[in-house]
C-alpha cells in the first residue's frame, strides 16, 4: 500500500513538470522578446564633453513579431540626446528572430566617470500594450588624456644663496573633468647625471625630508600641495638651474601616466660692493692731487662690466680727462681701483660722490651712488727728519774716518 502511494506521488510530480515546461515553451513561441545591444559607436572610447554616435540593435528573440514598438531614449547623468526628434522611435514590425538598428547621436556629460556607462531605454509593443519594459546597454567613456597642471609654484626665499635654504612649493591640479587621479607621486630628480665623462650634479639637496612625496587621490578640478626644503651647496656657482620634477599617477581605469616638469631654481646673492679710498695726495696743505678709490667685492658671487664714475660736488672739482672709468669684472673677495685727479678748497674733510654700475652673474643691472668721506691730515714734516738723518750720516763718516786713520797710523809705526 505504501509503495503504491509513493508511485502515485511520483506520477503527479512528473505531470506537473510537464505542464510547467509546456507553459514556458508556449510563452516563447507566442510572445515577442526584445534584446538590446550596441552594434558599434564612434569614437571609441567616447570622450567626456563630446558627442558620440551609437548604433543600437534591437533583436526580437521571441516567437512572434513585435508590433509598433515604441523605443524611448531615457536621459541619464552620463548621456543625453542632441536632438529631441530622436526621443521616441517607433518601429512598425520587428519580426521573430529579426532585428532593427537605431542610430543615436548623444552628448557625453562633462562630469561622466571614465569607464563603462549605461544608456537607458524604455519601450512598449502594440501586442503587449499593458507592459512597459526597460533596457540598457553600455559603452566605454574615457578622457582623451588625464592632464595635470602646475597651477602654482613658488620658491621662497628666492634667489637661493650659496649655503642658504629655501622652500619649493607646488600645487598640482587635476585638469580632467571626470577622472580622478590616484597614487600621485612627486619626485625631485636630484641624482647626478653622467654625460660622457662629465658628472652633472645639481648644487642643492633636500633637507628635513626626502625628495619624494605622494597623495592617494586628487579629484577632478581639485589640487594638492607639495613642498620640499632645499639647501644649496656653499660652493654653488650663481646661475639658474633646471630641476626636473617627475610626476606619476593613475586614472580611474588603472592606466599609469608620467609627466616631467622643469622648475627653475635661481642661485645667486645680492652683490656687496665696498667703496673706499686707498690713498690720496690731498692733505690740509695740498689741495690738488690724485685720489685712488678701491671697489671691493665682499659678496659670494662675482660682478662684471663695472664702471666707476666720480660725480660733481661742491667739495671738489675733477681735473681728470674723464670722470668715468671702466673697471670690468671683480671676482668674489677681490678688488679693482679707479684713480681721479681733483682740486678741493676743503681744509678738514672731503665727501666724494661716486656712482658704480655693474651686472651680477645673472646679468641683473645694478646702479649705486655712494658718499665716500676722506679726512684731510697735516702734511708730513719731512724737513727736520732729513736734517737729522744727514747729521747721523756725517757723524758716522767722521767716526769711521777717525778709526780708519788711527789703524793706518798704527800699522805704519809697526813697520
| 176 φ, ψ (degrees, to nearest 5) | -65, 150
Q: What pLDDT was estimated at residue 4?
A: 44
- Supply the pTM of this predicted model: 0.59
**pLDDT class of 249 with cuts at 50, 70, 90:** very high
**pLDDT class of 291 with cuts at 50, 70, 90:** very high
What's the burial of 287, exposed, middle or buried (CB within 10 Å: 0-12/13-18/19+)? middle
Q: What pLDDT was estimated at residue 16?
A: 35
Edge to edge, the sheet with strand 34-42 lists 34-42, 51-60, 99-108, 79-81
Q: Cell 744727514 appears where?
A: 390
**pLDDT class of 5 with cuts at 50, 70, 90:** very low
Q: What pLDDT was estimated at residue 35?
A: 95
Interval 166-179 mean pLDDT: 88
Edge to edge, the sheet with strand 324-330 lists 324-330, 303-310, 349-360, 365-375
**Helix (H) / strand (E) containing 20:** helix 2-30
CA dihedral sign, ordered 206, 211, 215, 218:
positive
For residue 390, pLDDT beyond 80: no
Q: What pLDDT was estimated at residue 389?
A: 72
Interval 310-336 mean pLDDT: 95
Q: Using a pLDDT cut of 90, give the percent of the chain over it.
A: 62
**What is the average pLDDT score of the chain?**
86
Range with lowest mean pLDDT among 194-198, 225-229, 230-234, 329-333: 194-198
Q: What pLDDT was estimated at residue 191?
A: 83
Q: What pLDDT was estimated at residue 388?
A: 67
Cell of 312: 660733481
What's the burial of 49, exposed, middle or buried (CB within 10 Å: 0-12/13-18/19+)? middle
For residue 415, pLDDT beyond 90: no
Kindly list the structural domains of the chain, giving each domain's residue range(s) and its CATH number in brackets, ordered by start: 31-141 (2.60.40.10), 148-267 (2.60.40.10), 273-375 (2.60.40.10)
- List C-alpha distances in Å: 120 to 77, 83, 106, 139, 230: 11, 16, 12, 11, 55
Interval 255-277 mean pLDDT: 91
**pLDDT class of 170 with cuts at 50, 70, 90:** very high
**pLDDT class of 31 with cuts at 50, 70, 90:** confident
Q: Are 117 and 79 in contact (CB under 8 A)?
A: yes
Interval 381-399 mean pLDDT: 71
Give the integer Cα–Cα distance in Å for 160 and 182: 33
Interval 218-242 mean pLDDT: 92
Higher pLDDT, 405 or 277: 277
DSSP E strands: which ranges in 6-60?
A: 34-42, 51-60
Cell of 326: 671702466
Higher pLDDT, 10 or 324: 324
**pLDDT class of 6 with cuts at 50, 70, 90:** very low
For residue 1, pLDDT beyond 50: no
Q: Are 153 and 225 in contact (CB under 8 A)?
A: no
Give the integer Cα–Cα distance in Å for 70 and 131: 12
Q: Are 370 and 275 in contact (CB under 8 A)?
A: yes
pLDDT tens profile 125-163:
998 988 999 999 999 988 776 678 888 899 999 999 999
Amino acid at each position: 500500500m505504501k509503495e503504491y502511494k509513493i508511485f502515485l506521488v511520483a506520477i503527479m510530480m512528473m505531470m506537473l513538470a510537464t505542464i510547467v515546461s509546456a507553459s514556458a515553451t508556449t510563452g516563447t513561441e507566442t510572445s515577442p522578446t526584445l534584446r538590446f545591444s550596441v552594434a558599434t559607436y564612434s569614437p571609441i572610447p567616447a570622450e567626456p564633453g563630446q558627442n558620440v554616435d551609437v548604433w543600437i540593435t534591437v533583436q526580437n528573440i521571441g516567437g512572434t513579431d513585435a508590433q509598433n514598438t515604441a523605443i524611448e531614449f531615457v536621459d541619464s547623468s552620463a548621456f543625453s540626446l542632441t536632438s529631441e526628434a530622436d526621443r521616441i522611435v517607433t518601429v512598425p514590425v520587428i519580426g521573430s528572430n529579426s532585428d532593427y538598428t537605431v542610430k543615436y547621436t548623444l552628448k557625453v556629460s562633462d562630469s561622466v566617470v571614465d569607464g563603462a556607462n549605461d544608456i537607458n531605454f524604455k519601450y512598449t509593443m502594440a501586442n503587449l500594450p499593458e507592459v512597459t519594459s526597460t533596457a540598457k546597454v553600455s559603452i566605454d567613456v574615457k578622457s582623451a588624456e588625464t592632464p595635470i597642471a602646475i597651477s602654482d609654484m613658488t620658491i621662497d626665499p628666492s634667489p637661493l644663496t650659496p649655503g642658504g635654504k629655501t622652500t619649493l612649493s607646488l600645487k598640482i591640479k587635476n585638469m580632467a573633468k571626470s577622472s580622478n587621479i590616484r597614487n600621485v607621486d612627486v619626485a625631485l630628480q636630484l641624482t647626478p647625471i653622467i654625460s660622457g665623462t662629465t658628472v652633472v650634479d645639481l648644487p642643492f639637496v633636500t633637507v628635513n625630508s626626502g625628495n619624494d612625496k605622494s597623495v592617494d587621490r586628487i579629484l577632478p578640478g581639485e589640487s594638492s600641495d607639495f613642498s620640499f626644503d632645499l639647501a644649496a651647496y656653499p660652493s654653488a656657482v650663481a646661475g639658474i638651474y633646471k630641476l626636473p620634477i617627475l610626476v606619476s599617477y593613475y586614472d580611474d581605469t588603472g592606466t599609469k601616466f608620467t609627466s616631467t616638469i622643469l622648475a627653475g631654481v635661481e642661485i645667486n646673492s645680492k652683490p656687496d660692493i665696498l667703496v673706499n679710498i686707498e690713498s690720496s695726495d690731498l692733505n690740509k696743505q695740498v689741495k690738488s692731487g690724485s685720489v685712488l678709490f678701491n671697489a671691493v667685492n665682499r659678496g659670494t658671487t662675482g660682478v662684471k662690466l663695472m664702471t666707476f664714475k666720480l660725480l660733481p660736488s661742491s667739495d671738489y672739482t675733477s681735473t681728470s680727462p674723464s670722470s668715468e672709468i671702466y673697471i670690468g669684472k671683480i671676482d668674489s673677495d677681490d678688488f679693482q681701483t679707479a684713480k681721479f685727479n681733483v682740486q678741493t678748497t676743503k681744509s678738514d674733510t672731503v665727501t666724494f660722490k661716486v656712482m658704480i654700475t655693474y651686472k651680477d652673474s645673472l646679468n641683473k643691472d645694478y646702479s649705486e651712488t655712494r658718499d665716500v668721506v676722506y679726512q684731510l691730515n697735516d702734511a708730513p714734516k719731512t724737513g727736520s727728519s732729513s736734517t737729522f738723518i744727514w747729521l747721523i750720516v756725517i757723524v758716522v763718516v767722521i767716526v769711521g774716518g777717525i778709526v780708519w786713520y788711527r789703524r793706518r797710523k798704527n800699522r805704519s809705526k809697526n813697520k
